[in-house]
């Protein structure tokens, strides 16, 4: 652990221009803590910078240009399910900010808390005799919630409860107040019939099942949010045939020939769905980025990193957007998928 701690603290001090003397003193302190307690505690500044570095090192993320502007909420001192629920509501409110989304991470104490949700706000998926209602991606977790007593409503867009577990206690469920959940009804700038599809999506993506690793310490409950890139909603969540599978319906309404692949009906429906998503979020003043702008921002990130003397790492297959990937520069160049730390990692599902 001391090796990982030393590497992180050294890099942190170098990148923030703190003196060799301060570094040496801090390293002695950390070594002492590890020797006597088996671990050490990050200062707020170390934790804050570590969370930002972890974003900077996230190879699958196209949004890394803004890594230094991450808001870090330190909640390492709370240890009851109720106060964790309160902190999560605080995160949701602060991050949502009435639509002017603030990229934010809340860090809970390193080991004894788990949030079972994949995202703080996500729609339920119900398996019924005549198919799946809601988000197919949520079917397994929805069953877990129902086994824990959650009813659900068999709706298309039922927001799942927060499931919070302390140590090895049974998890506790908490409903998120509707007032805290900002959603965007999806309409199209030209096709008036689009509204009748009854589609909407939530404003803020908040990943809550990954762990933040900084200097040898793993924060297994550290939910983080940014804003959406439009294609995530328009080219995947509402488009995939194993998600909301809207392309055939949209193509029908557009009067396209869905009997022939060569009519490119799927592609035309896909573009209009993505146009509708971007139009709706923008009209409602909810932060969102289109995949062309996001790629241009990523290009600026690459230049900044080279300028800072760091090599750019990335996971090409995740960085290219799912719609018109070859229209971005990312498609036309290779990226090394070298894993640096601090970083965000997958971890075993607690259920």
Ligand X SMILES: N/C(=N/c1cccc(CO[C@@H]2CCNC2)c1)c1cccs1
Q: Which residues are catalytic?
A: 61, 64, 227, 232
Paired with 313 in beta bridges are 336
Give least dist CB 38 to ligand HEM, A: 28
- 49 near 13, Cβ under 8 Å? no
227 sits near ligand HEM (criterion: CB under 6 A): yes
Decide which of ligand HEM, ligand X, none touches 194; Cβ closer than 5 to 8 Å per partner kind. none
| CA atoms of 100 and 229, how far apart (whole Å) | 14
Residues at the interface with ligand X (CB under 6 A): 205, 207, 224-226, 228-229, 232
Which CB, 294 or 312, lies closer to ligand X? 294
Give least dist CB 200 to ligand HEM, A: 19
| CA atoms of 200 and 287, how far apart (whole Å) | 15
Which CB, 212 or 256, lies closer to ligand HEM? 212
Considering only CA atoms, which of 21, 121, 58 is closest in space to residue 301?
A: 58
Give least dist CB 212 to ligand HEM, A: 8
Give least dist CB 225 to ligand HEM, A: 6
| CA atoms of 276 and 250, how far apart (whole Å) | 11
232 sits near ligand HEM (criterion: CB under 6 A): yes
145 annotated ligand-binding residue: no
Give least dist CB 141 to ligand X, A: 13
Give 77: exposed, middle or buried? Use CB within 10 Å, 0-12, 13-18, 19+.
exposed
70 sits near ligand HEM (criterion: CB under 6 A): yes
141 sits near ligand HEM (criterion: CB under 6 A): no
Pairing outcome for strands 211-214 and 183-185 = unpaired
202 sits near ligand HEM (criterion: CB under 6 A): no
Binding segment toward ligand HEM, per CB under 6 A, in 63-71, 116-124, 169-177, 248-256: 63-71
Decide which of ligand X, ligand HEM, none touches 345; Cβ closer than 5 to 8 Å per partner kind. none
- 147 near 70, Cβ under 8 Å? no
- 213 near 342, Cβ under 8 Å? yes
The secondary structure element, H or E, covering residue 275 is helix 265-283
| CA atoms of 242 and 223, how far apart (whole Å) | 26
244 sits near ligand HEM (criterion: CB under 6 A): no
The secondary structure element, H or E, covering residue 219 is strand 217-219
281 sits near ligand HEM (criterion: CB under 6 A): no
63 sits near ligand HEM (criterion: CB under 6 A): yes
289 sits near ligand HEM (criterion: CB under 6 A): yes
Q: Strand, coil or helix: what is 232?
A: helix
Decide which of ligand X, ligand HEM, none touches 208; Cβ closer than 5 to 8 Å per partner kind. none
- Crossing angle between the packed helical segments 44-56 and 2-15, to the nearest 10 degrees: 90
- 51 near 76, Cβ under 8 Å? no
61 sits near ligand HEM (criterion: CB under 6 A): yes
Return residues touching ligand HEM (CB under 6 A): 55, 58, 60-63, 66, 70, 103, 105, 224, 226-227, 229, 232, 289, 294, 318, 344
Binding-site annotation, residues for heme: 61
């Amino acid at each position: 652990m001391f090796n990982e701690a030393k590497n992180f603290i050294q890099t942190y001090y170098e990148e923030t221009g703190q003196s060799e003397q301060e570094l040496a003193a801090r390293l002695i302190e950390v070594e002492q803590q590890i020797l006597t307690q088996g671990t050490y505690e990050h200062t707020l500044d170390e934790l804050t910078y570590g969370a930002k570095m972890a974003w900077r090192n996230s190879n699958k993320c196209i949004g890394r240009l803004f890594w230094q502007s991450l808001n870090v909420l330190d909640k390492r001192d709370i240890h009851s399910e109720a106060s964790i629920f309160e902190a999560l509501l605080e995160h949701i409110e602060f991050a949502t900010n009435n639509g002017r989304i603030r990229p934010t991470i809340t860090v809970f104490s390193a080991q004894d808390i788990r949030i079972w949700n994949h995202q703080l706000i996500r729609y339920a998926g119900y398996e019924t005799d005549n198919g799946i209602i809601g988000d197919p991606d949520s079917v397994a977790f929805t069953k877990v919630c129902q086994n824990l007593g959650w009813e659900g409503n068999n709706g298309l867009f039922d927001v799942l409860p927060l499931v919070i577990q302390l140590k090895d206690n049974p998890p506790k469920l908490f409903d998120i107040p509707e007032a805290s959940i900002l959603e965007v009804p999806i309409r199209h700038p030209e096709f008036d019939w689009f509204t009748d599809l009854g589609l909407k999506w939530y404003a803020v993506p908040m990943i809550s099942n990954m762990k933040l690793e900084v200097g040898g310490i793993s924060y297994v409950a550290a939910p983080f949010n940014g804003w959406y890139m439009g294609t995530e909603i328009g080219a995947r969540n509402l488009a995939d045939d194993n998600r909301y599978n809207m392309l055939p319906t949209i193509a029908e309404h557009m009067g396209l020939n869905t009997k022939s692949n060569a009519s490119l009906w799927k592609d035309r429906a896909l573009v209009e769905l993505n146009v509708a998503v971007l139009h709706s979020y923008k009209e409602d003043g909810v932060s969102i980025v289109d995949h062309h702008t996001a790629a241009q921002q990523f290009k600026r990130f690459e230049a900044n990193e080279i300028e800072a003397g760091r090599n750019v790492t990335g996971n090409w297959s995740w960085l290219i957007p799912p719609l018109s990937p070859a229209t971005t520069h990312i498609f036309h160049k290779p990226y090394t998928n070298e894993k640096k730390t601090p970083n965000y990692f997958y971890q075993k599902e607690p259920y």
